[in-house]
Amino acid sequence: MLHIAVAGATGRMGSAFMDFLEKAEGVAALSIAAHPVADENFTQLEAVAGQDGLDVVVDFSSPDATLRLAEWAAANRKPMVIGTTGFTADQLDKLAEILYPVPVLLSPNMSLMMNVAWRMMSNAAKVLPHDTIDIEIVEKHHRNKRNAPSGTALIMAQIVAEKRGWSLAESLRHNSRWGLLGERPRKEIAISSIRGGSLNSEHTIIFAGSGESLEVTHSCQTLEPFAKGALRGSRWIIRQPSGVYDLLDMMGLPEVLF
């Protein structure tokens, strides 16, 4: 039996994960409220952990809440799966520092297919000409999504920047084209964020050349793929030594897919 504590369990992704766990075999889940910084939630965690009944903490809360939860997990030597998005670079550095004693699976997108798409676009960004290919990223989400661009879109931009040897801070543009701007800069990674209604989660990266283009798109119609990935990650991370991992590590994807 795998015992999971779910932080942010009343949020959109946390609720979907709890619903998924109810149908999963060999799993027992403890729901931690949307605000896991509340003292009563840590009392719950400590009671379960004290009985050695907790195997892993899965977090879908908020960056500030995650940091405090990470301190608890590190002190109690409990592995974590973190699907929370919206971290700043400083918060990510702090998170890695706090959690060094335990294994941590950190990914802003728990879909296995999205992670395969990341590796595909990584290969494309590396091998396609750097001086003649323009790169655009378009992401769509429901109207209630809080952060823009999405954590997934930022990972896409980061992948491109790293493979091309560009500074992400200098090349990133977000929803800011307006007016007579002149020719598009070559070293630019543009992200367009669309929010509305109940739109499905969708991410597309466009490699636009002269006379041809390549698009890699990932679309999710439900939250079940993310829940499946989080559960698979939970089963995997508890068997790993301390360190920070992502789903690509779990899947064992080679650096080159084509």
Asked if 230 contacts 58 with a C-beta cutoff of 8 angstroms, the reply is yes
Return the closest-CA partner of residue 64 out of 103, 98, 40, 107.
98
Domains of the chain: 2-110+223-251 (3.40.50.720), 112-220 (3.30.360.10)
Q: Which residues are catalytic?
A: 141, 145
Asked if 101 contacts 242 with a C-beta cutoff of 8 angstroms, the reply is yes
Q: Which residues pair with 169 in a beta bridge?
A: none
Asked if 79 contacts 102 with a C-beta cutoff of 8 angstroms, the reply is yes
Q: List, for residues 113-152, the tens digit of each pLDDT value.
A: 999 999 999 999 999 999 999 999 999 999 998 889 998 9
Residue 67, SS3? helix
The pTM of this model reads 0.81
Structure tokens, 73: 């997990």
Q: List, for residues 196-248, the tens digit of each pLDDT value.
A: 999 999 999 999 999 999 999 999 999 999 999 999 999 999 999 999 999 99
More confident residue, 30 or 239: 239
